[in-house]
């Protein structure tokens, strides 16, 4: 990894506590396979990035929730480096 890249588990402090990351959908403890980066443009500046994690089963639900509200969204694999460029 370059100095600008990092492991998501290390960034959010999970490496020492959990061997895997789980889906952000309520009551789901399935391993997350995708990372959804998003922001609410009404309350967040362009440089603010929110992250949800999704299992395969809940990906369409979580994306649909965000897209139906017109929120800008980026989709990545969980293991991909976090893109810290603004979401426009």
Model pTM score: 0.76
Q: pLDDT above 70 covers what percent of the chain? A: 78
Q: Is 57 helix (H, G, I), strand (E, B) or coil?
A: coil
Residue 25: φ, ψ to 5°: -65, 135
Residue 82: inside a domain: no
Evaluate whether residue 65 is within a structural domain.
yes
Provide the pLDDT for residue 5. 47
What is the pLDDT at residue 20?
78
Assigned token pair, 51: 């992250």
List C-alpha distances in Å: 77 to 33, 47, 69: 6, 21, 23
What range defines the domain where residue 16 resides?
A: 8-77
Say if 39 falls within a structural domain.
Answer: yes
Q: Is residue 55 part of a domain?
A: yes
Q: Examine residue 46 and state whether it is found in any structural domain, yes or no.
A: yes
Is position 1 within any domain?
no
Number of domains in the chain: 1
Q: Does the residue 24 lie in any domain? A: yes
């Amino acid at each position: 990894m370059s100095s600008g890249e990092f492991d998501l588990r290390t960034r959010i402090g999970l490496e020492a506590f959990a061997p895997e990351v789980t889906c952000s959908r309520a009551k789901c403890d399935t391993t997350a396979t995708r990372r959804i980066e998003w922001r609410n443009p009404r309350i967040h500046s362009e440089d603010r990035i929110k992250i949800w994690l999704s299992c395969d089963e809940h990906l369409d639900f979580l994306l649909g929730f965000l897209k139906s509200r017109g929120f800008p969204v980026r989709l990545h694999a969980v293991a991909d480096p976090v893109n810290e460029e603004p979401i426009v």
